[in-house]
Amino acid sequence: MKKIVFTPDAPKPIGPYSQAVQTGNMLFVSGQIAIDPATGALRNATIEEETHRVLDNISAILRAAGMDFSHVLKCTVYVADMHQFNAINAVYATYFTDGNPPARELVQVSALPRFVNIEISCIAAN
């Protein structure tokens, strides 16, 4: 049985998808970009600001499902510029602080929705 997870504390989907879908103890979080849910504006003045906004959006979705970053099993990170890898990692590490970071891939792509610089999705379980 699948349950759709939605929170107003994360951006509304900009297409035909859900913020997240939960089945059993598994949560599948759709790719998030740096949209501020309060204003609908992109928060992407720097890659650091953009990465924080993306991870804050994921955090809100995890909370809505009764989880947090310690429940994340795997992340998929898409970036427009691999040269930003170190700056992204520096921010990313501040969200996974329990000493057990999830599995991850980070892939450079030619373009992302709304031409942002980063998109992250994840799978979590409790």
Domains in the chain: how many in total?
A: 1
Q: How far apart are the C-alpha atoms of 34 and 120, rounded to whole Å? A: 10
Q: Report, as ranges of residue numbers, the positions in the chain whose pLDDT lies below 70.
A: none
pLDDT (tens digit, 9 = 90+) per residue, 63-85? 999 999 999 999 999 999 999 99
Contacts of 32 (CB under 8 A, 6+ apart): 10, 11, 54, 57, 58, 61, 119, 120, 121
For residue 8, what are the domain limits?
2-125
- What sign does the dihedral 100-101-104-106 (CA atoms) show? negative
- What sign does the dihedral 31-27-87-57 (CA atoms) show? positive
The CATH code of the domain that includes 84 is 3.30.1330.40
